[in-house]
C-alpha cells in the first residue's frame, strides 16, 4: 500500500461516485481528507465519518463559486495547517446524443464548461499557495478518455475534458507550476466507469460498452481511486502526464 500518512488532501466533488472512491482510497492510505461538496452536505458529513482514520473534514466548496473556494482554503489552512494534494474531481454532464445539437442547449454547454474547465482552474488558483508551501504539492485532475476519443455523454463534455488535458491544465498548468517550490500536475483519464450515472442508463447499452472494452468490463470507481493514489504518492517524478485508466477501451 502507498503510504500517504501525514498528507493533507482536498477532493472536490467528493460526494459523487468517483469522489467517494477517491476519498476512501486516500484515507485508507493514511491521508487526512477535506471533502468538497456543492449541495450534498449530509452526504459529505456521513462520508467524513465513514472514512478510515479520523480528522476528515466536509467543506461546502462549489467549484463555480470563487468566494466559497477562498473560504474553503481558509478553513483547510486553519484545520489542517496546509495542503499537500489537490484532487479536482468535481464535474458534470448530461447524456445528449452527439448528433442532437438542438438538445445540447446553451445552458447545458455553459454549465459543463463552468464546472469541468473553469472550476478546475478556480480551485487550483485558490489552493496554490498551500500547495506551494507544501514543497511537494501535487494536483491530480480527473479527466476522461473522451478528450482523445471524442466519444462521451455529449460533445461539450468531450470538449471540456480535452481542455483539461490539452489546453490548460495537465500540460500548460504543469509548466506554470513546475517551479521552485514545485507542484506536480497530472490527469487521470478514466474510460466508462460503472457509476450510478452509468447504471441509470440503458442496461443493454451498458453491457455492449463493457463487451467492447478490451479487458471485458467497465472500470469500477476503485480503479480510478487507485490511479489517483498512485499519482499522488508513487509517481513522484511525473508531471504534465495523462494516465489512462480505461481497460484498453480505445483498442476495441
pLDDT tens digit sequence for 146-175: 888 878 888 998 999 999 886 445 566 767
Q: What is the pLDDT of residues 116-146, one digit of tens each?
A: 999 999 999 999 999 999 999 999 999 998 8
Exactly one of 10, 37, 80, 157 is catalytic; which is it? 157
Q: Using alpha carbons, select from 185, 190, 186, 177 the residue that is nearest to residue 146.
A: 190
- Residues 8-243, CATH architecture: 3-Layer(aba) Sandwich (3.40)
Q: Using alpha carbons, select from 3, 205, 169, 175 the residue that is nearest to residue 86.
A: 169
CA atoms of 99 and 62, how far apart (whole Å): 31
Q: Kindly report the pTM of this predicted structure.
A: 0.92
Q: Pick 70 or 97 by higher pLDDT.
A: 70
Q: What angle do CA 90, 112, 67 make, to 5 degrees?
A: 60
Reduce the DSSP state of residue 188 to 3 states and report it.
strand
> Dihedral of CA 232/238/242/247: which sign?
negative
Question: Do the beta carbons of residue 83 and residue 137 sit within 8 Å?
Answer: yes
The separation between CA 173 and the C-alpha centre of its own chain, rounded to angstroms, equals: 16
Mean pLDDT taken over the chain: 91
CA atoms of 127 and 147, how far apart (whole Å): 25
CA atoms of 167 and 143, how far apart (whole Å): 13
Q: What is the pLDDT of residues 15-66, one digit of tens each?
A: 999 999 999 999 999 999 999 999 999 999 999 999 998 999 999 999 999 9
Question: Do the beta carbons of residue 43 and residue 63 sit within 8 Å?
Answer: no
Question: Do the beta carbons of residue 65 and residue 38 sit within 8 Å?
Answer: no
CA atoms of 119 and 162, how far apart (whole Å): 14
The secondary structure of 129-179 as a DSSP string is HHHHHHSSEEEEEE--THHHH--SS-HHHHHHHHIIIIISIIIIIHHHH-S
Asked if 37 is an active-site residue, the reply is: no
What the block records as the C-alpha cell of 110 is 455553459
**Those residues with Cβ within 8 angstroms of residue 93's Cβ, 6 or more apart along the chain or in another chain:** 112, 116, 152, 153, 154, 157, 197
Amino acid at each position: 500500500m502507498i503510504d500517504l500518512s501525514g498528507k493533507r488532501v482536498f477532493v472536490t466533488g467528493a460526494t459523487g461516485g468517483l469522489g467517494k472512491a477517491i476519498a476512501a482510497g486516500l484515507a485508507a492510505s493514511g491521508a487526512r481528507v477535506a471533502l468538497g461538496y456543492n449541495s450534498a452536505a449530509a452526504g459529505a458529513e456521513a462520508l467524513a465519518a465513514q472514512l478510515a482514520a479520523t480528522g476528515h473534514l466536509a467543506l461546502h466548496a462549489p467549484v463555480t463559486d470563487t468566494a466559497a473556494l477562498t473560504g474553503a482554503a481558509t478553513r483547510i489552512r486553519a484545520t489542517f495547517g496546509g495542503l499537500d494534494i489537490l484532487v479536482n474531481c468535481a464535474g458534470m454532464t448530461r447524456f445528449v446524443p452527439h448528433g442532437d445539437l438542438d438538445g445540447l442547449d446553451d445552458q447545458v454547454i455553459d454549465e459543463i464548461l463552468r464546472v469541468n474547465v473553469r472550476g478546475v482552474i478556480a480551485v487550483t488558483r485558490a489552493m496554490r499557495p498551500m500547495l506551494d508551501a507544501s514543497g511537494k504539492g501535487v494536483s491530480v485532475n480527473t479527466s476522461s478518455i473522451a478528450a482523445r476519443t471524442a466519444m462521451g455523454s455529449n460533445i461539450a463534455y468531450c470538449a471540456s475534458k480535452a481542455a483539461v488535458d490539452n489546453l490548460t491544465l495537465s500540460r500548460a498548468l504543469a509548466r506554470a507550476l513546475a517551479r521552485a517550490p514545485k507542484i506536480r500536475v497530472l490527469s487521470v483519464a478514466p474510460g466508462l466507469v460503472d457509476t450510478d450515472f452509468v447504471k441509470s442508463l440503458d442496461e443493454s447499452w451498458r453491457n455492449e460498452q463493457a463487451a467492447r472494452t478490451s479487458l471485458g468490463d467497465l472500470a469500477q470507481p476503485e480503479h480510478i481511486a487507485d490511479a489517483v493514489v498512485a499519482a499522488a504518492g508513487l509517481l513522484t517524478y511525473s508531471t504534465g502526464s495523462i494516465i489512462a485508466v480505461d481497460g484498453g477501451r480505445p483498442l476495441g
